[in-house]
Structure formats: C-alpha cells, structure tokens
Amino acid sequence: MAASALVATGARLVNLQFDEKLLFTIYLANLGTWFLYGFDFRKPFKAGWQRLFIAQLLVAFGFSVCYLSGIQFLVLGFIFLLGLLYQAEIPLIGKGFQFKKLLVFKNLLIGISWASLIPFGANDLYQPTTQFMFWFVTVQVGFGSIIRDINDVAHDRLKGLITLPIYLGIPKTLLVLNMVNLLSIFICVPFVGFDPTSWLFLFSIVVIIYKAFILMRVQQNHNQQIWTQYLNILTCLLIFLLTCFFY
C-alpha cells in the first residue's frame, strides 16, 4: 500500500489521469518494493514464489515498452541499482559484506528508493513540486526506517547490522530522530522560501506533527509494533491524502 500511495502522489502532482498506464505503474512499484526487501539474490530460483516473481518481471518488462517513458525507465533502473546495493554481498570488499550493514547506509538506501517512486509516478524529474516531494519523502521514509530498527534491535544484532539504535542506544536515537523530523520543515525553503501560507509548508507541518506523535509514543513504549511499524508505514498514505487535500 505504501508503494501505491507514493506512486499515486507523484501522479497527483502532475495531474495524471487514473488509467491503465497508471495502474501498471503502481503494479511495477509494488513489484520493485518486493524486489528490494524480499528477493534473495544468492539463490534466485530457490523457491516457487521467487520463480513466480521472475516470471512477473519478464511479463512486466514486455508491457513496460508500451506504457513507460524514458524518464520512468531511468528511475526504474535507479531503483533496481539501489535494490542491488541493499541486498547484494560484495566479496571483493570482504566476506559477507553488504552496504546495508554500514551505519545509516541502509536507511539512506530505503529513503531514496521509496522517494524515487514520486518521480516514477509523476513521469517527471524537473517540476519543483516533484523535487520537493522526492527530498521530503527521502527524509521521512529514511528516518521512519530507523524507527522500525528500534523494534528490531535483537534481530539486527544477530544479522551483524549496525543500526542507529544499536550504535547510540534507543534514547539518543529518538532524540536524533526528533531533531531530523523538525529540521525537515526546511526542505520546502528552496522551493517556496519562508512562506507559511504555501501548501508545501502546511503539508510539511502536518506530516511533521504526525511523526512527532509517533516518536512520542515510541518513546513511551518502543516494543509496540503499532507505532514502530504499522502507523509509521502509514506515513506514505498520509502523504498521498494530504497531497490530494492541499494541492
């Protein structure tokens, strides 16, 4: 649902009509999300569901020639590259080395890859609203993934990941996340200046308040997945709904 919401947000920013092309774009975005998080590159044919995914990719590629533009192919290739960086092991650097094991690098990859669904849905790289939304979603989804890491400390330690909650501890991590959340209001400044009446400013304020509330509840009890996982991920849906309301 989160991937669908971000693609639809991009489409809304450029007033694209809801048709079979947009539906196909949303479908591809959901395929890409599964590719980023669930596909096992080490044994790509090990299970039936992975083979089914590969078959879907081949069929989708055929339709892509009809439905996608050059810009969308460029963005899709960029997301694919990020997926490789996120999942693949790099034996030349070290045995079992993965970039996602580096501090905050995993969260940066997640933020950028999800934010790339905005220009993918908009079929645009240049409009100020598309660029603003890309950077704003990068920050919000990126630190949202750190919120999810708070609930996964024990699991990440077993996997050898160095996440911010492991490195700093949960209290200091929450302090950093609150600062990042507040500072994200300045992302709209290059696009609209210090204009509190701009829809970008009002949009940012509402999202920041929502995430501040989630951080407050996580601070009270970081073991409740409803805050670290489910309502945190719903930020993407909120972004879509606010875009429809303000834009």
Task: Judge if pTM exceeds 0.75.
Answer: yes
Amino acid type, 66: C
CA terminus-to-terminus distance, the chain: 21
User: pLDDT tens string for the chain (247 positions)?
Assistant: 789 999 999 999 998 788 888 888 888 888 777 766 666 656 666 666 667 777 777 787 777 888 889 999 999 889 888 877 877 777 656 666 677 777 788 899 899 999 999 999 999 999 999 999 999 999 999 999 999 999 888 888 887 778 999 999 999 999 999 999 999 999 999 998 888 899 999 999 999 999 999 999 999 998 888 999 889 999 999 999 999 999 8
What is the pLDDT, as a whole number, of residue 33? 73
Distance (Å, whole) CA 121 – CA 246 = 18
HSE of 10, CA atoms in CB hemisphere, 13 A: 30
CB 3 within 8 A of CB 234: no
What is the pLDDT, as a whole number, of residue 137? 97
The closest of 156, 183, 181 to 167, measured between CA atoms, is: 156
What is the pLDDT, as a whole number, of residue 93? 62
The closest of 122, 124, 86, 91 to 106, measured between CA atoms, is: 86
- Three-class SS string for the chain? CHHHHHHHHHHHHCCCCCCHHHHHHHHHHHHHHHHHHHCCCCCCCCCHHHHHHHHHHHHHHHHHHHHCCHHHHHHHHHHHHHHHHHHCCCCCCCCCCCHHHCCCHHHHHHHHHHHCHHHHHHCCCCCHHHHHHHHHHHHHHHHHHHHHHHCCHHHHHHHCCCCHHHHHCHHHHHHHHHHHHHHHHHHHHHHHCCCCCCHHHHHHHHHHHHHHHHHHHHHHCCCCHHHHHHHHHCHHHHHHHHHHHHC
Angle separating helix axes 128-150 and 235-246, nearest 10 degrees? 150
CB atoms within 10 A of CB 158: 9
From residue 24, alpha-carbon distances to 18, 55, 117, 136 in Å are 11, 16, 13, 25
What is the pLDDT, as a whole number, of residue 100? 72
CB 67 within 8 A of CB 21: yes
The closest of 161, 184, 150 to 98, measured between CA atoms, is: 161
CB 144 within 8 A of CB 233: yes
Angle separating helix axes 2-13 and 20-38, nearest 10 degrees? 140
